[in-house]
Amino acid sequence: MNNMQSKKRLLGVCRLQAKLTRRDLVHAERRAAQLEMSHAQLLAMANEMLCARDCDQSTMLAGRLEFGHRLITLSSVQKNEIAEAEKTASALRSSAHASKQREERADLNFRHARKSHHQRSLEKQPHRVAKQGVALTKAKRGFSS
């Protein structure tokens, strides 16, 4: 019985770890997707701003240089964040897979423990029934047990 309970507790822990890992993975993938979308929005905004036609040439050139410098800096920061988020998501995918395997092994161990416990209880049960049958037979005959 103790073996079955410990296997059941281990299964519960593995399920919780797998659930938390899957949650972290989804969060990391969502973060990477958000970073990629913000990067795409930044590039679209840059293209839109650089197409301004109502400024004089020198002001537009100065604005383009300033904005280009900031865009390059921000773009490299975003690319680094995207790469880091994808790396984290990849590590979490691996961790989620390992957690899922641990959960499956724990589930299998629990099922085996439950089955062996059930078999042991069935093996013990005929002895109890036989003893009870002898006691009932003696009681019917008038003997005390």
Query: Over the stretch 113-138, which tens digit does the pLDDT of each residue have?
Result: 888 888 887 777 765 555 555 555 55
User: What's the confidence (pLDDT) of residue 129?
Assistant: 52
pLDDT at 145: 44
Q: Give the span between the Cα atoms of 70 and 50, in whole angstroms.
A: 13
**CA-CA-CA-CA torsion sign (70, 72, 75, 80):** negative
Buried b (16+ CB within 10 A) or exposed e, 14-36: bbebbeebbebbeebbebbeebb
* Percent of the chain whose predicted confidence (pLDDT) is above 90: 0
pLDDT in tens, 58-111: 766 777 777 777 777 777 888 888 888 888 888 888 888 888 888 888 888 888
